[in-house]
Amino acid sequence: MNISEAKERIDELRSLIKYHSDRYYNSDAPEISDFEYDKLYRELENLEAEYPQFYDENSPTVKVGGAASEQFAPVTHSVPMQSLGDVFSEEELKAFIRKTDEAAGEQLEYSVEPKIDGLSVSLEYENGVFVRGSTRGNGTVGEDVTENLKTVGGIPKKIKNAPEILEVRGEVYMPKEKFLKLNELREAEGEALFANPRNAAAGSLRQLDSRITAERGLKVYIFNIQRIEGKSFLRHSEGLDYLKSCGFSVIENRAVLKGEEKIAAHIEKIGEMRGELSYDIDGAVVKADVLSVRDRLGTTTKAPKWAIAYKYPPEEKETLLENIYVQVGRTGVLTPNATLKTVRLAGTNVSKATLHNMDNIKDKDIRIGDTVVVRKAGDIIPEVVRSVKEKRSGNETPFEMPLFCPQCGAPVIRLDGEAAYRCTGSACPAQRLRHIIHYASKPCMDIEGLGPSVSEALVNHGLIRDVSDLYALTENDLLVLDKFAEKSAENLIAAIEKSKTAGLERLLFAIGIPLIGARGAKLTAQRFGTVEAVMSAKSEDISAIPDIGEKMADSIVRYFSATDNISLIERLKAYGVETAAKEKAVTGGRFEGKTFVLTGTLSGYTRDEAKKIIESLGGKASGSVSKKTDYVLAGEAAGSKLDKAQALGINIITEEEFNEMIK
């Protein structure tokens, strides 16, 4: 590789890593595995070391990944939350230990611990009281998520006999069992699935409503003391033992060891138990145990010199893809799945795997009868990585999506620009249960007590066929179900009755119109006011609503052109379900036609309060800055949105100026 080729590759890798880092840290929606990301990162590190003339202080190898979200107040860490260097083989691990021992002038003792794959957080205590919790962010500035962290298991609110100041670092994670149940629920409700437990944990901790965080069953493991005043320790392991006595959930399966062979053996032991653990790990951490040694060895700008992370490669195995079957989801989406010859993978027997969609099958050229490579995404969800073409016999069969729904026989369509194939049958039995679960969910009609298992029991007992039948249920009907007593039956009937007043905004989302989410439903309801007006609206009238595109408008018109769907609405109205909007769209307000973007922290309002004021005056509150933005309302510690607004020449206003505008 010559110099120009090296420069081109370095630039390409920096761009790729920044993109995937943003998807991982900030969007909680990774597109590649951790192992693939680490390989790109290592390649960049090697090239930058070989060609130091291309040093750039903004390179991802210099800066810690991630950024603080503007949805939360910023927190400047008193002790930087650094990342760790990585090694990927036993040889590299042993080389690190030899180098560190040599720098220290002695054979060191190391604490060897599992590396939890979660979201790194800092917890601050003053005189034993939990006062603030924050995410890592970019390592220097994170997000204040105190209220959400108070709902996480393993974090004591108060500790006895505490030092004056205590700051600890831990990893918030979602147990595998909770992750699987959450994804099952999201699939039933037609929502995008989380890629792995780490992203589920990050998405859950960054909820603006701490009640949602509390429902997700997050936990934490503490693995370091960042700062302490009024007490001291000689060793890292001693500090962890103290934290455990205080009631913290401290990292398990750790050992203090000396010598590269013993350390490598313990890392292998941790790796062997990966599949049996209740939480996800992506490696093991090796760090000097004596704290004075850490002080002597110091750190780089990004990582300590006394610690390293050993990354386990994802376990991949070959097996036979015996067949491909199609599952029909709540919104009618057909999802292809693979039936596999059973293979042992990451601690469990795997006989099925997701194939995501038809585009994925074609891109990877996966055929029935292929030998395929499978792995577990995040060590949880089995997926087909690729086909092994060199092992083909010629008898393999390409897969095609069915022309008719395998459940109801209705035609299957694929809309332009969509990866998904959809069943057009409004009465499809495969969609029925998922429709009911979605209808009763919190963002929709919010029927407390009507979860997936109760919904399934109602369908199986023939008590309901569609959501309108819910309103005909009696307490006596419910008593035939397992675990239902008079009180629980009474509570569910009351919750169903209460849902009648949810309003058109929630109803439009609840009935499951393809492409229409909660915001699209709310905007449509506010614009038209009644369900009758929505049902008679033309596509061009609906697409005239800001943020409602032509495809969404066409989907609404198509939904209400189906006789079955019109009949459903009439039945709901007959049972007393309110079909008028709770709020009307504001027209003629002083902010009509104006788009605002909020950034930073406001002193007089929460972000939601400011948005409601803008919308009450006819304006629109957007989450991103563009040329169409009219005003950027900048509070304290405004972030990248302010920079973009300045670059685009957009009108930037202070909170005081905003107050004048709304008088």
- The residues assigned a catalytic role are 115
Token couple for 280: 């996800």
CB count in 10 Å sphere of residue 269: 13
DSSP string, 355-409: ---HHHHHHHT-EET-EEEEEEETTTEEEEEEE-GGG--S--EE----SB-TTT-
Q: How far apart are CA 123 and CA 134, in angstroms?
A: 7
Cβ atoms within 10 Å of 659's Cβ, excluding its own: 13
Radius of gyration of the chain (CA): 28
Q: For the chain, how are helix, strand and coil distributed in percent, rounded to 5?
A: 40, 25, 40
CB 627: neighbour CB atoms within 10 A?
Answer: 7
**DSSP 8-state class, residue 24:** I
Which tokens hold the place of 171?
Answer: 């990893």
Rounded CA-CA distance 410/332 in Å is: 10
What is the rounded distance in angstroms from the CA atom of residue 242 to the CA atom of residue 236? 10
Residue with the two structure tokens 């959809």: 422
> Which of 493, 332, 356 minimizes the C-alpha distance to 424?
332
| 588, 590, 593, 597 alpha-carbon torsion, rounded to 10° | -140
Nearest to 159 by CA among 124, 204, 133: 124
| Strand ranges of the sheet holding 281-288, from the earlier edge strand across to the other edge | 86-87, 307-311, 281-288, 109-116, 255-258
Beta-bridge partner residues of 122: 134, 169
Residue 179 token pair? 């992750």
The structure tokens listed for 50 are 């070989």
Those residues with Cβ within 8 angstroms of residue 387's Cβ, 6 or more apart along the chain or in another chain: 321, 364, 365, 366, 367, 370, 371, 372, 373
The Cα 128–Cα 146 span in angstroms is: 15
> What's the length of the chain?
663
Contact 153, 220 (CB under 8 A): yes
DSSP for 146-182 reads HHHHTTSBT--SB-TT--SEEEEEEEEE--HHHHHHH
Alpha helix positions (H), 461-530: 475-478, 486-498, 504-510, 518-528
CA distance 376 to 364: 17
Residue 236: CB atoms within 10 Å: 26
CB atoms within 10 A of CB 544: 12
